[in-house]
A and B are shown apart, each in its own frame.
Chain A
């Protein structure tokens, strides 16, 4: 069974629309993260959360907003979508910020047309 569930697996969106990427982890970890991977910038860190609190934000745009409704959830809301947002978005988690047990989800492939 997958330990980190990301939904949907594939997503096609129209420019200017808004989408929410879902992430749930069942590893009992207290830290969760979002990364983006594209041909231009492979595996780029976006956000980190610990105990549902934002710890780090490396995205330049406020169009990307993480949302944590539960300890094991960290969704990513993206507004005013642009073609440049097309990428695979990976959710990850770890126990604490030590990063030694990082686990990545299977990703959501987003295509903005």
Chain B
């Protein structure tokens, strides 16, 4: 059973558009939600993260919207650039849970110039 679910599996947008990546989770003890991006043949790198005390976290063109009641979050990438083309992973962790990160299966984003 996948504890962290992501949709869509793949997404293509045009340069300048807003890409929306969705994530949902099952475990209500999760209290830390990082998004990682991964380029081909590279390791995952932290992009942006949020804790449930907030319902929004912004960093430049990247914004996380968080809905604790529905156990859903989304990553919005505004003014998408070809360099944003990567696989995006939503992850979740619970404090005191040995530091383990539970990853979703990822969304592969392609930004067309």
Chain A residues packing against B (C-beta within 8 Å): 31, 33, 42-45, 48, 50, 55-56, 58, 90, 94, 96-100, 102-107
Q: Which of B45, B96, B99, B105 contacts A42 (CB 8 A)?
A: B105
Beta-carbon contact of B45 and A31 below 8 Å: no
B86 within 8 A of A: no
Beta-carbon contact of A48 and B44 below 8 Å: no
Q: Is the interface of B mostly helix, strand, loop or mixed?
A: loop
What are 14 pairs between A and B in contact, CB < 8 Å? Answer: A33-B100, A42-B103, A42-B105, A45-B100, A45-B101, A56-B97, A58-B100, A97-B96, A98-B99, A100-B32, A102-B34, A102-B99, A102-B101, A105-B43
Q: Which of B42, B44, B96 contacts A43 (CB 8 A)?
A: B44
Beta-carbon contact of A99 and B101 below 8 Å: yes
B20 within 8 A of A: no
Beta-carbon contact of A98 and B95 below 8 Å: yes
A33 to B95, CA, bound (A): 16
Residues of B in contact (CB 8 Å), total 22
Q: Quick one: which of A42, A44, A99, A107 has the most chain B CB within 10 A?
A: A99
Q: Which of B32, B43, B44, B106 contacts A99 (CB 8 A)?
A: B32
Chain B residues packing against A (C-beta within 8 Å): 32, 34, 42-46, 49, 89, 91, 93, 95-103, 105-106
Residues in B with CB closer than 8 Å to A42 are 89, 103, 105-106
Beta-carbon contact of A97 and B44 below 8 Å: no
Q: In the complex, what residue of chain B is closest to A33 when comparing beta carbons?
A: B99
Beta-carbon contact of B98 and A50 below 8 Å: yes
A41 to B96, CA, bound (A): 25
